[in-house]
Amino acid sequence: MFSFLKKSAPDAQPEAAAAAAPSWRERLFQGLARTRAQWGGKLKSIFSRGKVDDELLEELETLLLTSDVGIEATTHLLDELKKAAKRDRLETPEAIQQALSDALYAILAPLEQALDVSTHKPYVIMIAGVNGAGKTTSIGKLAKYFQSQGKSVLLAAGDTFRAAAREQLQTWGERNNVTVIAQESGDPAAVIFDAISAAKARGIDVVLADTAGRLPTQLHLMDEIAKVRRVIQKIEPDGPHETLLVLDANIGQNALQQVKAFDKAINVTGLVVTKLDGTAKGGVVAAIARQCPKPIRFIGVGEQIDDLRPFSARDFVDALFDQ
C-alpha cells in the first residue's frame, strides 16, 4: 500500500495542477460574488458610523429586503442585531458586521443537514422542480457526487414529456458511466418503477429519479407527480427516501411559493439551490429558513460537474461577508 505514497517525477505535474485547482470553499466564494457585491460595499458604508441606531437599521432593512432576504428573516435579523448591540455594546463596524453574520448563521445552521444515503439500498431520490431550474443538470452532478463517495448510481429518465430531458440525462449517464433507464414515451411512473426494479436486481446504491418540470399552478401535472410518488411506494414502501426540490436562486422570493406548493403535493424533504453564481439574490436562502424551512442538501455555484456540493451554513455566511 505504501507504493501509492511515492510519486515518480512524471506524476509531479498533475499533482501540482490538482493542488493549484481552487478548493470548494474558494469556488463558493467566487460563486457568491454577485450577492456579496450587493452586500459588501453597502454593508461597509452602513456600518461605518460604528453604532446601531435607527438610521443604520433602516438602511440595513432596505439592503436585506432588496437582497431577497424577505420580511420575516429581515425583521428577525434586525431584532437580533438590536439585542446584540444592547448586550455587547457594539461600537465598531467590525463588531456590528460580526453580530449580523452570527445572526444569519444562526438562521441557516438548522438547514445544514447532510444527506445519508446508506440507510437503504437502493436509496431512492425523487427530484422535482420547474422547467429551467437546472433539474436535469443537477441530477448529472449529483450522480458524480455520489460516485465520488463510493456509491453506485442509476438514473431514471422520468421526464417523458420533454425528449431533450431524456437525451440530456443520457448524456450525463455516458459522461459518468452510469446506466440510464428510459423509454421513448410512456408513463413517467412506469419508467421510475422499472429503474428501481433494475437497481434492486443489480445491487445499486442510489437511484436518482428525474420528473417532468412543472409549475405549481399546473394542477394536473402536480397530481401526476403525486402519482409518481405513490407508484414508487408500491415497489419501495419506504420510498422515496428523499424528495429533492431544485430551486433556481435567480427567482428570489418566488422560491417560497414553489417550496410550499411542491411540499403539499409530494412532501419535499430537501432542497437543491442552483445558479447562486448568476444572481445577487442569495439572501433568499435566509427567507426559506424562516418561512418554509427545509434542509438545503446541496447548492450549485457554477456549470462544472463538481460545482454542486453539500450546503455548509458557515461557509455560505463567510462567503457573503468576506471582503
Binding residues, as ranges, are 129-136, 210-214, 274-277
The DSSP secondary structure of 145-167, one letter per residue, reads HHHHTT--EEEE----S-HHHHH
Phi and psi at 201, nearest 5°, equal -65, -30
As a whole number of angstroms, the distance between CA 266 and CA 226 comes to: 6
Nearest residue to 224 (alpha-carbon basis) of 160, 293, 279, 273: 160
Single-letter code of the amino acid located at 56: L
DSSP 8-state class, residue 23: P
As a whole number of angstroms, the distance between CA 245 and CA 168 comes to: 19
Q: Is the dihedral of CA 119, 139, 291, 288 positive or negative?
A: positive
3-state secondary structure of 244: strand
For residue 238, give the C-alpha cell: 419506504
Angle at 38 between CA 35 and CA 42, to 5 degrees: 140
Phi and psi at 105, nearest 5°, equal -60, -40
Burial of 136 (0-12, 13-18, 19+ CB in 10 A): buried
User: Known binding site for GTP: residues?
Assistant: 129-136, 210-214, 274-277
3-state secondary structure of 70: coil
- In the block, cell 437582497 appears at 67
